[in-house]
Amino acid sequence: MEKLIQLAKENIKNSYSPYSKFPVSAILELKNGKIYKGVNIENAAYGLANCAERSALFSAYSDGIRKSDIKRLLVYTDHDYFVSPCGSCRQVMRELMEDDAEIILVNNHDETKVVRNIELLPLGFSKQDL
């Protein structure tokens, strides 16, 4: 866990968040130990921004990774409180990660809160709803 937290802290400098001034770093760990990093990337047209969680997941999926390969996702912000994924990220996480995958929230005191993916969006929309 300490290695993931350190990676997240180093990675946060890659955030492009000139509008919100709220950098976020996400570290996706696979079951085989491989790591994918993501940061939030904003845009002057706000709707075109992408969150750190989705950046990490999309990078992994672009590389051929699928939900059965994913162990956990760590989300770090440089604040003294926990920041939970937004609704859009929760929906994407629910589809692209297994329900029991760990989601680890980390604050700037290295305190952690661990939840399962399904706990973030218990009634998420899925392909079964189509």
The answer to whether 10 is a known catalytic residue is no
The two tokens of residue 73 are 């996702």
| 22, 44, 104, 125 from 25: Cα distances, Å | 10, 20, 12, 26
Residues 53, 95, 98, 119: which is the catalytic one?
53
Span between the terminal Cα atoms of the chain, in Å: 38
State whether the Cα torsion 95-101-105-110 is positive or negative. negative
As annotated, the active-site residues are 53
